[in-house]
Amino acid sequence: MKRLLSVVISVFVFSVILCAQQDWIRTGTGLGVEKVRVAVPDFKLNNATPQNTALQKTFDDTLFYDLEHAGIFDMVSKSFMPTQVPGMPSDVNLAQWSSPPPSAAMLAFGNLGATGNNLAVQGWLYDLKNTANPQVLGKQYTDAATPEGARSIAHKFADEIIFRLGGGISGIAETKIVFVSSRSGHKEIWQMDYDGANQHQLTHLGSYALSPRISPDGSRVAFSGMTKNGWEILMYSQDLGRLVHFPHFGGTNLSPAWSPDGTHLAFSSSRTGDPEIYVTDSDGTGLKRLTSFAGPDVAPVWNPKTGGQIAWAERSQVTHLPQICIMGADGTNQQHVTDEGFAVSPSWSPNGQFLAFSWMRRFGPGEPGAQDIYVMDITTHTWAQLTHGEGRNDFPSWSPDSRHLVFQSSRSGQEEIWTMLADGTQQQQLTTSGSNYEPNWSWK
């Protein structure tokens, strides 16, 4: 029964490929999806100085990483490429790239050079099979002649290519991940680029800051912090670089979540003595209680596609262990989607069709109780397992393109942040400094 998911998903994948504008995802299967084979030779340097050579390497590495991790390309190894790389359209020998060894379908190439403080990049994407009119993209970028500028241009060009070749879904190369890190000595909220670059601290609470959730417009980070009044929902402004006002509700307040339009927050509060799910306006007014189950109700997450449903983790009265539940955003139609094991930390895919969560599926005396990331189809409740017993895996969070998940894993010996494609492949560690927890991917 459960193994039906792969069939369901492959049918789903075929159907969405047919209607090209629909989001799609390869979860649980690679069947029937041929990855586009792309060659991305190093860009040609216009004027070779040590500074430009360093910028070129940053640019080339970033562009290659972005495309390699997009999940939709078969990358041509650089060792298969001709030694003469093209810098301009006139340099391109189409047959040289489309025939073995590169055997590429697509070629991304270009040139870059810094003059003064400006870095200029020209980039092209060629469809090598369309010999008459091969150009798919021709782009020109300028940014600061700094590593950040080079990375920014590479991200933009990569996202253009991904958008063009990936069924019209925007790339994620410029997205951010907020997370909790203990590397300063306290658990504080940090932020990094989606590839792990540019890790920096946001909060300085000096106690505990947990469960960061970035707002849909990226301007705020809601989180749960321990203050002198206990656990409160706190609000960090990215624009102001500091905490801004948010009301105190009393009790233990945990795990905030943004509605997809940014107008509401859901969170867990024990203000009445038992942790329940509440919803407020984004300024904390209009508090409304949605659940009334004895025992923990925590970790709500909105359906980002419709805004009409909320999933959360609730301690089941039947199994006496937490299970994933779904309800309407007004608290109606509450139902379990898991009914065994220990299931927590739901994250709803931006296309609305999947829940990722952390599950000790076979849990109990005598069971090893590995904690792994699973993805469940909302309509059929069939699921696929994405991690397989390497450490404890928790807090999955979807990327905006619904193709990636970021999560927390202890497999390296301590809790760190990892990413993977939503089919469980390309698992990659992003953090190495201190212990790092509870990643949350930005909405765009």
Partner 1 sequence: MKHSHKKWVTLVFALSIVLMLGACKKKVAPPPPPPPPPPAAPTASLTANPSTIQKGQSTTLTWETQNATDVSIDGIGSVQPNGSQSVSPADSTTYHLVAKGAGGNQEATARVTVTQPPPPPPPQPTASEEDLFNQNVKDIYFDYDKYDVRADQQAALQADAAFLKQHPNTKVTIEGHCDERGSTEYNLALGDNRANAVKNALVQDGIAADSIKTISYGKEKPFCTEHNEQCWQQNRRAHFVYQK
Pairwise CA distance, residues 238 & 243, whole Å: 9
Task: List CB contacts of 106: < 8 A, sequence separation 6 or more.
Answer: 36, 37, 38, 39, 125, 126, 127, 128, 136, 161, 165
Q: How far is the CB of 255 from partner 1 (least distance, A)?
A: 5
Residue 293 within binding range of partner 1, rule CB under 8 A: no
Residue 344 within binding range of partner 1, rule CB under 8 A: yes
Strand partners, 179: 190
Q: How far is the CB of 19 from partner 1 (least distance, A)?
A: 37
User: Which listed range, 4-12, 212-220, 297-305, 423-431, lies at the site for partner 1 (CB under 8 A)?
Assistant: 297-305
Q: Which of 94, 208, 238, 248 binds partner 1 (CB under 8 A)?
A: 208
Element (DSSP H or E) covering residue 150 = helix 147-165
Total of residues contacting partner 1 (CB under 8 A): 38
Q: Which long-range contacts (CB under 8 A, 24 or more apart) does 224-230 make?
A: 224/253, 224/254, 224/255, 224/256, 224/267
Pairwise CA distance, residues 269 & 233, whole Å: 9
Residue 181 within binding range of partner 1, rule CB under 8 A: no
Residue 102 or 275: the one with the smaller Cβ distance to partner 1 is 275
Q: Which of 111, 353, 358, 387 binds partner 1 (CB under 8 A)?
A: 358
Q: Which of 233, 299, 301, 325 binds partner 1 (CB under 8 A)?
A: 299
H-assigned helices in 169-288: none
Residue 210 within binding range of partner 1, rule CB under 8 A: yes
Cβ burial, residue 32 (10 Å; 0-12/13-18/19+): exposed
Residue 230 within binding range of partner 1, rule CB under 8 A: yes
Residue 320 within binding range of partner 1, rule CB under 8 A: yes
Residue 313 within binding range of partner 1, rule CB under 8 A: yes
Residue 22 or 319: the one with the smaller Cβ distance to partner 1 is 319
Strand partners, 417: 408
Asked if residues 202 and 189 have their Cβ atoms less than 8 Å apart, the reply is yes
Pairwise CA distance, residues 286 & 349, whole Å: 27
Asked if residues 397 and 440 have their Cβ atoms less than 8 Å apart, the reply is yes
Q: How far is the CB of 417 from partner 1 (least distance, A)?
A: 14
User: Which listed range, 4-12, 120-128, 142-150, 266-274, lies at the site for partner 1 (CB under 8 A)?
Assistant: 266-274
Q: Which of 62, 211, 291, 431 binds partner 1 (CB under 8 A)?
A: 211
Asked if residues 270 and 261 have their Cβ atoms less than 8 Å apart, the reply is no
Q: Which of 33, 85, 321, 378 binds partner 1 (CB under 8 A)?
A: 321
Residue 407 or 443: the one with the smaller Cβ distance to partner 1 is 407
Q: Are strands 36-39 and 73-75 parallel, antiparallel or unpaired?
A: parallel
DSSP, res 321: S
Residue 270 within binding range of partner 1, rule CB under 8 A: yes
User: Which listed range, 107-115, 146-154, 237-245, 317-325, lies at the site for partner 1 (CB under 8 A)?
Assistant: 317-325
Q: How many residues does the chain have?
A: 444
- Find, among 343, 336, 354, 324, the residue nearest to 23 by Cα: 354
Residue 134 within binding range of partner 1, rule CB under 8 A: no
Pairwise CA distance, residues 80 & 75, whole Å: 11
Q: Is 338 helix (H, G, I), strand (E, B) or coil?
A: coil
Pairwise CA distance, residues 225 & 202, whole Å: 13
Residue 295 within binding range of partner 1, rule CB under 8 A: yes
Residue 251 or 400: the one with the smaller Cβ distance to partner 1 is 251
CA 304 to chain centre: 13
User: Which listed range, 128-136, 207-215, 237-245, 303-311, lies at the site for partner 1 (CB under 8 A)?
Assistant: 207-215
Q: Token digits for 163?
A: 């958008």
How many Cβ atoms are within 10 Å of 231's Cβ, its own excluded? 21
Pairwise CA distance, residues 189 & 324, whole Å: 26
Q: Which of 122, 268, 309, 409 binds partner 1 (CB under 8 A)?
A: 268
Binding mask of the shown chain, residues 88 to 127, with x at each position contacting partner 1 by CB under 8 A: ----------------------------------------
Residue 255 within binding range of partner 1, rule CB under 8 A: yes
Sign of CA dihedral 200, 203, 205, 207: negative
Report which residue type is found at 356. Answer: A
Q: How far is the CB of 224 from partner 1 (least distance, A)?
A: 8
Q: Which of 55, 72, 235, 254 binds partner 1 (CB under 8 A)?
A: 254
Pairwise CA distance, residues 287 & 356, whole Å: 27
Residue 297 within binding range of partner 1, rule CB under 8 A: yes
Subset of 365-384 contacting partner 1 (CB under 8 A): 369, 371
Query: Which residues of the shown chain bind partner 1 in the complex (CB under 8 A)?
Result: 187, 208, 210-211, 224, 226, 230-231, 251-252, 254-255, 268, 270, 273-275, 295-299, 313, 315, 320-322, 342, 344-345, 358, 360, 369, 371, 394-395, 437-438
